Amino acid sequence: MKLIMGGGYDSIYWNAGIISFFTKNDIDIEIISTGVSSVLSIYKSIYGKFFFNSFKTFIDDKNNPINKIISQFSDKAITSSFLNLLKFGTSKSEFFNTQELQEYIFNNFGNSKLKDINPNLKIEAYSLNYGRFFYFNPGMKISDIIITELAITPFFRYHKISNVNLVPSSVLCEIPFKEITESKEKHIVPLFFKKKEKPMPSNGLNILLDCSEVRRKNLAEKISKDNFIAVPENYPQNPYTMSAFFEGYNNIEKLWGKIND
């Protein structure tokens, strides 16, 4: 049994709580990740049990471009700005400056490679040019992996490595695609999904953005339906707080108990 983790920015704390449950209880479970969970998985490999303190320092750093997303509290504020939407659609392909993200991550992780921290770490991404899911090989630079895994549409543009345009699988499907669709084993799949109903979006572009999010989640639900699923019982008002962390921790604790009963 493996832990199959994905998610967008809003699932950072929830997923951190889930990994913390396993590290705190010394449960050695293989993680297959995409999106923000991949950054958590890398931090776990580097810092072990105490990964969350270091990860929190990373996301709380005011110079970290992803801190802007977290402090603006969800995509709602970002996508409601007329100017943001206009720039995104007609020129920029991103709400935030992808180059700033690249520089920040390169400065923090330098040239160290995946094999230096854990050669067996399975981190999935998607090649836009080839239309394929794949795992990063151990020789890849951690900085390139993190930039790719944070290149979540529409916040940041895809990351280009040797003319291949890369995004995390979570941009398409919320969770890693390959393992679930290729193996017959049952896995643990945390899904940070809230109640489906939502007020009518204000304009056509927000309708498209919303449909896009629903597709990503619908695909994850379809491929993971025969697995052990953890979903929030009480979706936190602000997902970027410790209440989301504990929601993740407590949910996975209950699910783990049921699985092992």
Partner 1 sequence: MIYGAALGSGGIRGIAHLSFLEKIIEKNNIELEILTGSSAGALASALYSLNPDSKYIKETFFSVMKYYNNQLTKLMKSLSSGVASYSKLITSTGIEENNILYNIYKDLFGRKTFSDTKKKLGIVSYSVEYREEIKMTEGYIIDAVMASSNVPGAFIPHRIGGMNLLDGGVLDEVPVDFCRELGAEYVFANNISPKKVKSSFSNGYDYFSYVDDRKIGLLTEIQMKNADKAYTFSYETDWFSFNKLDDIYNASDKFYGGDNI
- 253 vs 258: CA distance, rounded Å: 9
The CB-of-225 to partner 1 minimum distance in angstroms stands at 11
Could you tell me which residues come within 8 angstroms of residue 128 by beta carbon, excluding any fewer than 6 positions away?
A: 158, 165, 166, 167
- Which helix (H) or strand (E) is 134 found in, with range? strand 132-135
Please identify, using beta-carbon distances, which residue of 137 and 203 lies nearer to partner 1: 203
Q: Which is nearer to partner 1, 210 or 253 (CB)?
A: 210
Distance (Å, whole) CA 182 – CA 101:
33
Which residues, other chains included, contact 143 with Cβ-Cβ below 8 Å and sequence gap of 6+? 105, 106, 108, 109, 110, 111, 112
Judged by CB under 8 A, the chain residues 185 through 244 that form the site for partner 1 are 196-205, 207-208, 210-212, 214-216, 218-219, 222-223
Among 3, 66, 147, 171, binds partner 1 (CB under 8 A): 171
Residues in 138-157 at the binding interface with partner 1, rule: CB under 8 A:
153-154, 157
In whole angstroms, how close is the CB of 164 to partner 1 at the nearest point? 8
Interface with partner 1, residue 128, by CB under 8 A: yes
Q: How far is residue 10's CA from residue 240's CA, in Å, rounded to a whole number?
A: 7
**Please, which of residues 59-88 interact with partner 1 by CB under 8 A?**
82, 85-88
Binding mask 21-40 for partner 1 (x = CB under 8 A): --------------------
Binding site for partner 1 (CB under 8 A): 82, 85-94, 126, 128-131, 153-154, 157-158, 163, 165, 167, 171-173, 177, 196-205, 207-208, 210-212, 214-216, 218-219, 222-223
